[in-house]
């Protein structure tokens, strides 16, 4: 408990899955949480049960103006910003030959430009604080080609987030701003369920033989725990690192 006491955290994509789980966990650990999503009705509904200091804001992560507004509103309400969790992202399953320019641009905007805008918006506030922690959600698709499920633009975008995270970790280390990345493997989320995966057991069965560690699939909590470690002062000497949470998939 209280691993994030007195810290202010912004979490994107918080209406479901890993972002929602992180919001629950961060509040439990003492943070003041700004939960953001484009699906505001859903966000407001699912966060009602969270017992702690949490506010909800609409955020289209591809909008520079909305990013700026969220930052300003957060600073006005809580006085500072300590943590940014760039969790939001969307995968479109089109191969390199199937993808259109429109689809390519959409995926790059949602998965890479969004992270650029988030970091660019929050870093001045963190500099003002004398430090902070940014955690970017990447993907195994940025590491191993078999993990992208045919999603060429998504893999390229996540590869960009990987490189951008490294860049930021070096260029803002002197400001005591840490930038780290999480690499989820097979994780049961709302997105997985929308693709017909009905349970953790079903997802695990699909990856048996690919992922060595039973039950062969992870949960949103596994990722939220990673976010928590990298957001907290427990990782105060950690930056530019890649925390892979995949049950050994990439090692195999």
- Tell me if 245 sits within 8 A of 183, measured CB to CB: yes
- Tokens standing for residue 108: 């790059």
Which of 154, 183, 216, 227 is catalytic? The answer is 154
Alpha carbon of 248 to those of 51, 56, 183, 210: distances in Å?
35, 35, 12, 9
Residue 125 among the catalytic residues = no
Rg of the chain's alpha carbons, rounded to an integer?
Answer: 17
Read out DSSP for 221-236? Answer: HHHHHHHHHHHSGGGT
Q: Which of 108, 112, 242, 233 is nearest to 169 (CA)?
A: 242
| Catalytic machinery residues | 154
């Amino acid at each position: 408990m209280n691993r994030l006491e007195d810290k202010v955290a912004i979490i994107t994509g918080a209406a479901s899955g890993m972002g929602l789980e992180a919001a629950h966990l961060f509040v439990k650990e003492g943070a003041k949480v700004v939960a953001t999503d484009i699906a505001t009705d859903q966000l407001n509904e699912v966060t009602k049960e969270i017992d702690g200091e949490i506010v909800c804001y609409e955020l289209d992560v591809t909008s520079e103006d909305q990013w700026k507004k969220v930052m300003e509103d957060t600073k006005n309400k809580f006085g500072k910003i300590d943590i940014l969790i760039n969790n939001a992202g969307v995968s479109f399953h089109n191969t390199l030959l199937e993808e259109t320019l429109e689809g390519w641009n959409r995926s790059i905007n949602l998965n890479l430009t969004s992270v650029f805008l988030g970091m660019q918006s929050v870093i001045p506030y963190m500099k003002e604080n004398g430090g902070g922690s940014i955690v970017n959600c990447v993907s195994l698709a940025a590491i191993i080609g078999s993990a992208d499920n045919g999603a060429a633009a998504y893999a390229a975008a996540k590869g960009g987030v990987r490189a951008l995270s490294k860049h930021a970790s070096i260029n803002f280390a002197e400001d005591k701003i840490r930038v780290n990345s999480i690499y989820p493997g097979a994780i049961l989320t709302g997105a997985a369920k929308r693709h017909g995966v009905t349970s953790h057991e079903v997802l695990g069965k699909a990856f048996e033989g690919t992922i060595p560690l039973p039950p062969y699939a992870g949960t949103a909590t596994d990722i939220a725990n990673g976010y928590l470690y990298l957001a907290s002062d427990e990782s105060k000497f950690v930056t530019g690192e890649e925390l892979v949470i995949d049950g050994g998939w990439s090692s195999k």
